[in-house]
């Protein structure tokens, strides 16, 4: 009889453990599914608007900047701006309302809010549509974004930079914001290795990462165990661009620029051949005349640069990085001799 009771007890315990682990698996699966859906929603938003929304960091009526503050109300899912394209704070919650998602999409499988952070530094500020580019963001040099650490199973680490971070604070939920807009306490342990703490907003110092001072420890992803249960999801700049291309939601800006340069070049030749003031003396337009010939604003919102040398000319777009004299510049260029030769074939003498 006693043996049967003990056995029944063991079986009951096993059943409970099994049920608990199934619930955990369901919550974990729901969390991952939402993170993937949020990635798609963010890419769709970026394709449509050419920027990503700042985090939700305060209730509607509040004007708090520089920290997360829901003391005056619960999270409203609305992105918060300090001024212009500057976020009220870099770290916050998913702005589900801007993304046209239901409120529950901002919360993980344990009903705590995800932590959301989007790159709003330089270069390539993702919250600023005037900095938008469809070019892969790590192809021309150092990838930019927030520092990120992957802890490998053998405890070695791999560092990278990521543009968007979506952290679920996992089953223990420590440090996550909850339905009431409060933060689940205590915060994760701050002593080494402090991996969960690295993923947590600290209200005492109002810090996580900032574009100008990325000094707090990088966000961390690692295998889930007894002391680390955060489900950390990242999107790199290249993944954003790949998503835009998959969705076909952006024009090919480099192809547009190439077409534009060809049109500008034709307009310059047209001026040189037909301008009644100068014909048949063959003169290039002045810079002021150049600016009125045709559209001289490139697809990235920058004015084309025009230089001449004799009868030769060069027209240059600063390219996707909007910076002059870098590897991604696009240009058309004709030497003095080439222009004279081409004009000569049309019976126009350049001298």
* Interface with Ca ion (CB under 5 A): 56, 76, 78, 80, 169-170, 172, 196, 229-230, 318-319, 321, 323, 326, 328-329
For residues 147 and 137, give the distance between their C-alpha atoms in angstroms, rounded to a whole number: 15
Q: Least distance to Ca ion from the beta carbon of 121, Å?
A: 19
Largest pairwise CA distance in the chain: 116
DSSP class per residue in 247-294: HT-S--HHHHHHHHHHHHHHHHHHHHHH-TTTTTS--PPPHHHHHHHS
Is 41 or 350 the residue whose CB approaches Ca ion more closely? 41
In angstroms, what is the minimal distance from the CB of 285 to Ca ion?
24
* Degrees to nearest 5, angle at CA 141 with 208 and 220: 30
Q: How far is the CB of 98 from Ca ion (least distance, A)?
A: 9
Query: Given the complex with Ca ion, which of 93 and 267 has the nearer CB atom?
Result: 93
Give the residue with the Cβ less far from Ca ion, 46 or 76.
Answer: 76
Give whichever of 118 and 343 is closer to Ca ion, judged by the CB atom: 118
Q: How far is CA 108 from CA 93, 100, 138, in A?
A: 11, 17, 30
- Please state, in angstroms and rounded to a whole number, the distance separating the CA atoms of residues 150 and 230: 13
Decide: residue 121, CB within 10 A, 0-12 exposed, 13-18 middle, 19+ buried.
middle
Least separation in angstroms between residue 38's CB and Ca ion is: 17
Residue 142 has which token pair? 């150092």
List b or e across 333-348, with b for residues whose CB sees 16 or more CB atoms inside 10 angstroms: ebeeeebbebbeeeeb
Residue 231 CB, nearest approach to Ca ion (Å): 8
Tokens of 128: 């600023």
Closer residue to Ca ion (CB): 69 or 80: 80
* Rounded least distance, CB 103 to Ca ion, Å: 12
Nearer to Ca ion, 302 or 340 (CB): 302
Give the C-alpha separation, 264 to 273, whole Å: 14
CB of 217 to Ca ion, least distance (A): 15
Comparison of 296 and 340: residue with beta carbon closer to Ca ion: 296
342 phi, psi to nearest 5 deg: -65, -40
SS3 string, 52-81, reads: CCCCECCCCCCCCCCCCCCCCCCCCCCCCE
Helix boundaries (H) for 102-210: 195-198
Closest contact distance (angstroms) between CB of 130 and Ca ion is 15
Name the residue nearer to Ca ion (CB basis): 70 or 313.
70
């Amino acid at each position: 009889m006693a043996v049967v009771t003990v056995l029944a007890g063991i079986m009951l315990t096993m059943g409970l453990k099994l049920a608990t682990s199934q619930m955990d698996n369901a919550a974990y699966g729901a969390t991952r599914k939402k993170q993937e859906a949020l990635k798609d929603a963010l890419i769709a938003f970026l394709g449509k608007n050419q920027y990503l929304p700042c985090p939700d960091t305060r209730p509607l009526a509040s004007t708090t900047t520089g920290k997360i503050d829901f003391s005056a109300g619960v999270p409203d899912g609305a992105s918060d701006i300090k001024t212009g394209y500057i976020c009220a704070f870099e770290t916050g919650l998913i702005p589900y309302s801007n993304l046209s998602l239901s409120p529950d999409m901002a919360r993980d499988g344990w009903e705590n809010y995800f932590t959301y952070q989007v790159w709003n530094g330089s270069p390539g500020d993702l919250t600023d549509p005037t900095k938008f580019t469809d070019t892969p963001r790590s192809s021309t040099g150092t990838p930019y974004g927030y520092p990120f650490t992957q802890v490998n199973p053998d405890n070695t680490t791999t560092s990278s930079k990521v543009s968007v971070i979506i952290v679920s604070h996992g089953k223990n939920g420590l440090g996550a914001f909850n339905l009431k807009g409060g933060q689940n306490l205590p915060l994760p342990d701050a002593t080494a290795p402090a991996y969960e703490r690295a993923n947590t907003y600290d209200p005492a110092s109002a810090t996580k990462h900032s574009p100008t001072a990325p000094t707090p420890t990088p966000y961390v992803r690692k295998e889930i165990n007894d002391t680390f249960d955060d489900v950390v999801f990242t999107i790199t700049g290249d993944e954003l661009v790949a998503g835009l291309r998959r969705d076909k939601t952006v024009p090919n800006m480099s192809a547009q620029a190439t077409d534009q340069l060809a049109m500008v070049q034709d307009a310059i030749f047209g001026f040189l051949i037909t301008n009644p003031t100068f014909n048949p003396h063959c003169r290039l337009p002045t810079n002021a005349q150049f600016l009125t010939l045709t559209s001289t604003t490139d697809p990235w919102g920058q004015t084309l640069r025009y230089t001449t040398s004799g009868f030769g000319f060069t027209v240059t777009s600063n390219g996707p990085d909007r910076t002059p004299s870098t590897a991604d510049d696009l240009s058309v260029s004709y030497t003095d001799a080439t222009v004279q030769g081409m004009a000569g074939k049309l019976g126009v003498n350049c001298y």
